[in-house]
């Protein structure tokens, strides 16, 4: 099930917004005119669309989202993270939980370079806590989006297929882990 479908099924956008918005902020149910944004990965707030540098062009129109047509896919992914990890963790499948956590981790760390800052992250830990069953999902995310998944893969698999001479060479590291995944049957 796609993230959008999951979100629509649960109808969690208003809940996610109402759980996060500052009480002193604008009415979250007005929707149009504001975009709900995760600012610097620190806090959630409503940002007037007019205040965005590129105005409305900065908010890709995501159709079919009822009262919130201006939420971009990017911001929507953040809401899905909140919805599936905070609101309904009990009914989300392992794939949905992983997708939400991985999205959140990427949003919060893709602009960082310090490995300790990248992995010292709640979503990353939460993914680790899900155990070996997420290895196929990590490998897929590594292939599609990259990121510092290598410590997680080492911890979960207790293996390291990356040759010493390839350390730091992301292309070679990725290749080694994806081949390892195929050899172990994690990648079909």
Partner 1 sequence: MRLHLWLIFPKLTDQNHSISSPATDNYNCVAWAYEVSSKKMWPGAPEDYYWPPDVADTDELQALIQLYLNVGYVQCDNDQREDGFKKVAIYVNQEGRPQHVARQLESGRWTSKLGDLEDIEHDTLEILEGESYGKATVFLKKRVVPSL
Would you tell me which residues interact with partner 1 (CB under 8 A)?
A: 37-42, 52-54, 58-59, 72, 74, 109-118, 146-148, 150-151, 154, 160, 162, 167-171, 173
- The beta strands (E) that lie in 97-145 are given as none
Q: Is 22 or 169 the residue whose CB approaches partner 1 more closely?
A: 169
Q: Is 80 or 173 the residue whose CB approaches partner 1 more closely?
A: 173
Paired residues of 36 in beta bridges: 46
How far apart are CB 41 and partner 1 at their closest, in Å?
7
How far apart are CB 188 and partner 1 at their closest, in Å?
24
How far apart are CB 20 and partner 1 at their closest, in Å?
15
CA distance 74 to 63: 13
Q: Work out the widest C-alpha separation in the chain, in whole angstroms.
A: 56
Q: Is 37 or 101 the residue whose CB approaches partner 1 more closely?
A: 37
Long-range pairs of 109-118 with CB within 8 A, sequence gap ≥ 24: 109/147, 109/148, 110/147, 115/148, 115/151, 118/147, 118/148
């Amino acid at each position: 099930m796609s993230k959008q479908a999951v979100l629509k099924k649960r109808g969690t956008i208003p809940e996610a917004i109402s759980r996060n918005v500052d009480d002193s902020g604008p009415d979250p149910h007005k929707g149009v005119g504001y975009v709900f944004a995760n600012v610097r990965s620190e806090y959630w707030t409503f940002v007037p669309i007019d205040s965005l540098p590129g105005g409305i062009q900065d908010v890709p129109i995501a159709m079919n989202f009822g009262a919130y047509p201006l939420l971009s896919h990017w911001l929507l992914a953040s809401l899905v993270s909140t919805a599936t990890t905070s609101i309904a963790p009990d009914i989300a499948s392992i794939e949905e939980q992983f997708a939400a956590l991985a999205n959140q981790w990427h949003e919060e760390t893709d602009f960082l370079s310090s490995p300790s800052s990248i992995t010292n992250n709640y979503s990353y830990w939460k993914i680790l806590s899900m155990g070996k069953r997420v290895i196929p999902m990590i490998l897929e995310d590594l292939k599609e989006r990259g990121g510092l998944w290598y410590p997680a893969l080492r911890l979960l698999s207790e293996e390291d297929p990356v040759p010493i001479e390839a350390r730091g060479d992301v292309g070679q590291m990725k290749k080694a882990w994806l081949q390892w995944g195929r050899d172990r049957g994690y990648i079909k």
